Amino acid sequence: MRKYLLIGVSAFVLGAGTMAYVSPIAQATSASKGETYKMLELFGDVLQTVDNQYVSEVDNKKLIEAALDGMLTSLDPHSGYLSPDSFEDMQDTTRGEYGGLGIEVTSEDGVVKVISPMDGTPASRAGIQAGDYITAVNGQSVLGLTVNEAVKQMRGAAGEVVTLTIAREKTDPFDVKLTREVIKPKAAIARMEGDYGYVRLPGFNEKATDALTASINELKTKNPQMKGLIFDLRNNPGGLLDQAVGVSSVFLDGGEVVSQRGRDPRDIQRYNAKPGGDILKGLPVVVLINQGSASAAEIVAGALQDRHRAELVGITSFGKGSVQTVIPLRGGADGALKLTTARYFTPSGRSIQKTGIAPDLEVAQTKDQAQDIANRVWFSEASFKNALNADEGKSRQGVHTPAEAPPTGFDDKKGDFQLQRAIAVLKAGSVEAVPKLPKPAAKIAEVTAKAAAAAGKGPPVEKK
Q: Name the catalytic one among 3, 113, 320, 443.
A: 320
Cβ proximity of 387 and 351 under 8 Å: no
Cβ proximity of 164 and 154 under 8 Å: yes
267 noted as active-site residue: no
Q: Where in the chain is the domain with CATH 2.30.42.10?
A: 98-183
CA distance 126 to 124: 5
End-to-end alpha carbon distance in the chain: 54
The pLDDT, as a whole number, for residue 326 is: 86
The pLDDT, as a whole number, for residue 117 is: 83
Q: Which residue, 399, 379, 389, 381, is CA-closest to 443?
A: 399
Q: What is the pLDDT of residues 243-255, one digit of tens each?
A: 999 999 999 999 9
Q: Which residue, 24, 185, 41, is CA-closest to 100?
A: 185
H or E element in which residue 125 lies: helix 122-125
HEC-encoded secondary structure of 398-464 = CCCCCCECCCCCCCCCCCCHHHHHHHHHHHHCCCCCCCCCCCCCCCHHHHHHHHHHHCCCCCCCCCC
89 noted as active-site residue: no
Cβ proximity of 6 and 321 under 8 Å: no
If one counts every other C-beta atom within 10 angstroms of the C-beta of residue 322, the result is: 26
If one counts every other C-beta atom within 10 angstroms of the C-beta of residue 350, the result is: 19
Q: Name the catalytic one among 249, 295, 322, 380.
A: 295
- 0.85 cut: is pTM over it? no
If one counts every other C-beta atom within 10 angstroms of the C-beta of residue 215, the result is: 22
Q: Name the catalytic one among 306, 351, 354, 380.
A: 306
- At the fourth CATH level, the homologous superfamily of domain 98-183 is PDZ domain (2.30.42.10)
320 noted as active-site residue: yes
Task: Give 3-state DSSP helix, strand, coil % of the chain, rounded to 5.
Answer: 30, 25, 45
DSSP letters along 1-66, please? --EEEE-SSS---EE---GGGT---PPPPHHHHHHHHHHHHHHHHHHHHHHHHSSS---HHHHHHH
**Residue 167 CA from chain centroid, whole number:** 21
Residues of the chain short of pLDDT 70, as ranges, are 1-31, 92-98, 185-186, 392, 442-464
